[in-house]
Homo-oligomer: A and B are copies of this chain.
Amino acid sequence: MTAPQQPVFRALADPTRREILQRLTHRNMTIGEVAAGFEMTRAAVKKHLTVLSDGGLITMTPKGREVVTQVDPTGFAPIRDWLSFFDHFWEDRLDALKTAIEQENEHDADDQ
């Protein structure tokens, strides 16, 4: 169970892709609709969508001759998990700091 989070971080590294994600939260869109919202070509936008899909952040569902793209909330899990590692770390650090301060205070009391 180790680190297949590269596709997710890769997907989020580009500002256009992050923008696409935000827009898709408002409403699901076909590939053409997403592309219409950007200055670049359809092919470029579709590449971004593929990267987002590879990262598990969106799903692409064929519907007739169109393809509906929508955000997949579960795709964010790997990032959250990775970040939680640091959360635990900070908690432990803070606990240690707290303990140290308490002991320091006890010593101060002893000194008096």
As for how many copies of this chain the complex holds, the number is 2
Tell me the minimal C-beta distance from A76 to chain B in angstroms.
6
The verdict on A90 contacting chain B, using a C-beta distance below 8 Å, is: yes
- Describe A's contact surface by its main secondary structure: helix
Pick from B25, B82, B89, B90: contact of A86, CB below 8 A. B25
Residues of A within 8 A of B (CB): 3, 6, 9-10, 12-13, 15, 18, 21-22, 25, 71, 73, 76, 79-80, 82-83, 85-86, 89-90
User: Would you mind naming 15 contact pairs between A and B with Cβ atoms under 8 Å apart?
Assistant: A3-B15, A6-B15, A9-B9, A9-B12, A9-B18, A10-B13, A12-B12, A12-B13, A13-B13, A18-B82, A21-B86, A22-B85, A71-B86, A73-B86, A76-B83
